[in-house]
Amino acid sequence: MAKIWDKGFDANKQVEDFTVGNDRVLDLRLAKHDILGSMAHIKMLVSIGLLAEMEEEALQAELQNILSTVENGNFHLDDDAEDIHSQVEALLTERLGEIGKKIHSGRSRNDQVLVDIKLFLKEEILQIKEEVLQLFDQLQLLSEQHKDVLLPGYTHAQIAMPSSFGLWFGAYAETLVDDMHTLAAAWKVADQNPLGSAAGYGSSFPLDREMTTRQLGFATMSYNVVAAQMGRGKTERILAQSMANIASTLNKLAADNCMYLSGNFGFISYPKELTTGSSIMPHKKNPDVWELIRAHSNRLQSLPNEITLMTTNMSHGYHRDYQLLKEVLFPAIGTLHTLLDMSRFMLQHIIVNEDILSDSRYEYLFTVEEVNKRVLQGIPFREAYQQVGKEVQEGTFHSDKKVHHSHAGSIGNLCTEKIQQKMRLASEPIR
């Protein structure tokens, strides 16, 4: 297959293998988006007189045929195809002759891959959004179901004050709202059409970039053609930071689950088929799923730094370094999908211990409750504090292990509907 940049000589095989790298495999994920980009582009070429309507009809029909093979899983790159762009153009030329060679007018592989990646990332962000919302809904459901079940709260990893499963589950739900805000920012950056920027300096053809922006469903375009190329790497880095934020939430959720499942805590449990055993200790129920979620989440949190280091110290314009972004970002996106799905799956089967605080070791959780109760009876706070502290030291402190919290966001007032409203507003821009 002749390369679309062919000048009549062959590249050194060793050089070609090294520079192509893993691109052919990764480009399969962009196949649908490359075809959609071409469909919009040739429609625009007709509107400016660079392509006849009959030619467009033939090209659109054949592109639809290729798209169908992508959607049914039968599309592949030929052994001598360098990338997805070469493969699609070669197929069109093979089936339609010279007409197939016309689709590249007014385009460069630079803006072609840019639009492919932007469309791909938009689709992935939409999927991540839905998965985050599903996990959010699961957490809110659990928060309401177990809002009256108390458990110890900790500071400095020491027993501190009363918490509840309502607070615990609800906290992770609201934290996902913050993560959704950053995902919406990534969406806004990705939702800009780079097509028409060509190699980074535009084209002498009178391209109608507004038309392709509408055709491809972008909210706006990257107007400055140099800025469009400078978006390569920056778009990926911003999405990576959003993914790292979600991963941070999942990491802490996983760490809590591992700790709470421990025999020294016993706050929660899971059906035995969702845990693993030991080869020598028959009593073990290991939280392997949560441990792997924790580890994968840590890896995802390194993603923004990896992308930053890969794209630093480069002047504006295209550099081949950008090719490697797909190798780190695409698998990471797949990992995040899996982690969100597995986290929700595990939480669907969580079993809450409803009698945690009957253990005497949690008696001192309620010292602040007792101080506050005495303050309400008219004793100055510092004096009430000293009284309770003395009772603790003398071993005479006792409490009724009840809480009376009513302010917004506390044990007795979870504000679940308010948090739902926050999430709706945070996720609404991603559509």
pLDDT digits (tens, 9 = 90+) for 383-399: 999 999 998 999 988 88
Burial class, 396, CB count within 10 angstroms (exposed 0-12 / middle 13-18 / buried 19+): exposed
Burial 234-245 (b: 16+ CB within 10 A, else e): ebbbbbbbbbbb
Q: State which of 80, 105, 130 marks the end of a domain.
A: 105
Residue 312's domain is classified under what CATH number?
1.20.200.10
Specify whether 185 is located in the same domain as 312: yes
CB 381 within 8 A of CB 375: yes
Bigger pLDDT: 257 or 313?
A: 257
Whether residue 211 lies inside any domain: the answer is no
| Enclosing domain of residue 122 | 118-193+226-357+408-427
**Whether the predicted pLDDT of 21 surpasses 70:** no
Mean pLDDT confidence for 126-134: 98
Residue 146 and residue 157 in one domain: yes
Smallest CA-to-CA distance from 334 within 45, 127, 42, 48 is with: 127
- pLDDT at residue 344 in the model: 98
14-23, 70-79, 357-366: least confidently modelled range: 14-23
Dist. CA 279–CA 207, nearest whole Å: 67
Residues 6+ apart with CB under 8 A from 272: 285
Does some domain include residue 298? yes
The overall average pLDDT reported for the chain is: 91
Ramachandran class of 195: left when φ > 0, alpha when ψ lies in -120 to 50, beta otherwise: beta
Last residue of a domain, one of 59, 76, 105: 105
Residue 113 in any domain: the answer is no
Q: Are 321 and 413 found together in one domain?
A: yes
How far, in Å, CA of 339 to CA of 247, rounded? Answer: 8
Q: Is 152 helix (H, G, I), strand (E, B) or coil?
A: strand
- Between 179 and 324, name the one with better pLDDT: 179
205 Cβ contact list (under 8 Å, min separation 6): 48, 50, 105, 106
Q: Looking at residues 82-86, what average pLDDT do you find?
A: 85
Is 206 a domain residue?
Answer: no
Domain total for the chain?
3
- 321 & 344 share domain: yes
Distance of CA 359 to the CA centre of its chain: 40
Q: Are residues 124 and 233 in the same domain?
A: yes
Indicate the pairing of strand 268-269 with strand 351-352. antiparallel
Same domain? For 189 and 132 the reply is: yes
Kindly report the length of the chain: 431
pLDDT recorded at residue 358: 87
User: At residue 193, what are phi and psi to the nearest 5 degrees?
Assistant: -80, 120
**Do 352 and 366 sit in the same domain of this protein?**
no
Average pLDDT over residues 276-294: 75
Q: Which of 105, 129, 151 is the last residue of a domain?
A: 105
- pLDDT band at residue 25 under the 50/70/90 scheme: confident
Task: For residue 322, give the DSSP letter.
Answer: G
* DSSP assignment letter at 216: T
Q: Do 127 and 53 belong together in one domain?
A: no
Is 372 within the bounds of a domain? Answer: yes
A 10 A CB-CB count for 172 gives 22
* pLDDT score recorded for residue 5: 47
Cα 130 to Cα 336: distance, rounded to the nearest angstrom:
12
Asked if the structure places residue 200 within a domain, the reply is no
Q: Given this model, what pLDDT does residue 11 score?
A: 60
Measured between alpha carbons, how far is 22 from 203 in angstroms, rounded to an integer? 30
Question: What is the predicted pLDDT for the residue at 319?
Answer: 85
Q: Is the residue at 212 inside a domain? A: no
Looking at residue 332, what is its pLDDT?
97
Q: With 80 as the cut, is the pLDDT of residue 225 above it? A: yes
In a domain, 203, yes or no: no
**Arithmetic mean of pLDDT, 288-300:** 97
175 and 43 together in one domain: no
**pTM of the predicted model, to two decimals?**
0.90
| 149 and 173 belong to one structural domain | yes
Residues 222, 212: Cα–Cα separation, whole Å: 12
Tens of pLDDT, residues 94-121: 999 999 999 999 999 899 999 999 999 9
Beta-bridge partners for 164:
150
What proportion of the chain, given as a percentage, has pLDDT over 90?
A: 74
* β-pair type (220-221, 192-193): parallel
The CATH number of whichever domain residue 70 belongs to comes to: 1.10.275.10
Do 352 and 373 sit in the same domain of this protein?
A: no
pLDDT at 322: 87
- The verdict on 130 and 258 lying in the same domain is yes
Residue 276: CB partners within 8 Å, gap ≥ 6? Answer: 284, 285, 286, 288
Region 148-169: what's the mean pLDDT? 93
